[in-house]
Amino acid sequence: MQVNRNSYALVVSTENITNNWYSGNNRSMLVTNCLFRVGGAAILLSNRSSDRRRSKYELVHTLRTHKGADDKSYNCVFQQEDEQKNIGVTLSKDLMVVAGEALKANITTLGPLVLPLSEQLLFLATLVARKVLKMKIEPYIPDFKLAFEHFCIHAGGRAVLDELEKSLDLTQWHMEPSRMTLYRFGNTSSSSLWYELAYSEAKGRIKKGDRLWQIGFGSGFKCNSAVWRALKTINPAMEKNPWMEEIDQFPVQVPKVAPIVY
């Protein structure tokens, strides 16, 4: 849209497990049956100046990191046949490590675009101390809460959310949209990011000028970032989204271990 003036773009994010349901007994392939659900969202983008007054958000940055050249990254989420010729998606034990490496590469590029100068200087000073002066100190993790008010993190699973909460030093409030989306709708792939944004809107959290960071993960292995700025304060009463009829029931306490009722 940067080269095509006065145009629209329709972005459709979806997850449909119908064609990828696994009917075998391989445990590493059964995980996807438990996590993934059907979901979808459509987003209309415009670069027409006349549409600015009715637009909700401005897209500030997008960044895509692809680690497919690395075999471990390429194979960590892979569709294949099991011993009985059942087709399924296998998740390797390296998934969390691969996701962490992809995220690190992504935020290393994104950081200078969004972080305040003070955070960039602290990061640079720590990097020089470790690499040049050979000092044995921990790498500095920038405080992205100084750059964003809201975080929409891919609801891939509880372990993914726990790891990113720890790595980015986020609060329960920041993680609430992602955790509640995983609890209520499951892993709906790329569309989960829009369910999370809808949660924040339904809660009345989005104010004019707020900055939002969407972090998505995918097989390949990929890590994608989108940075948005709110152009208006979102009035929940005027919104139509999947949370509105039950938003007052959230957040809920999600136990780490739940009994299975037969």
Task: Tell me the per-residue pLDDT of 193-245, one tens digit each, with 9 for 90 and over.
Answer: 999 999 999 999 999 999 999 999 999 899 999 999 999 999 998 888 999 99
CATH for 8-108+144-249? 3.40.47.10
Question: Which residues 6+ apart lie within 8 Å of 50 measured at CB?
Answer: none
Tokens matching residue 127: 């990097």
Task: Note the pLDDT tens digit of each residue in 18-58.
Answer: 778 899 999 889 988 988 999 999 999 999 999 999 999 99
Report which residue type is found at 236.
P
- pLDDT tier at 261 (50, 70, 90 boundaries)? low
Q: Where are the domains of the chain?
A: 8-108+144-249
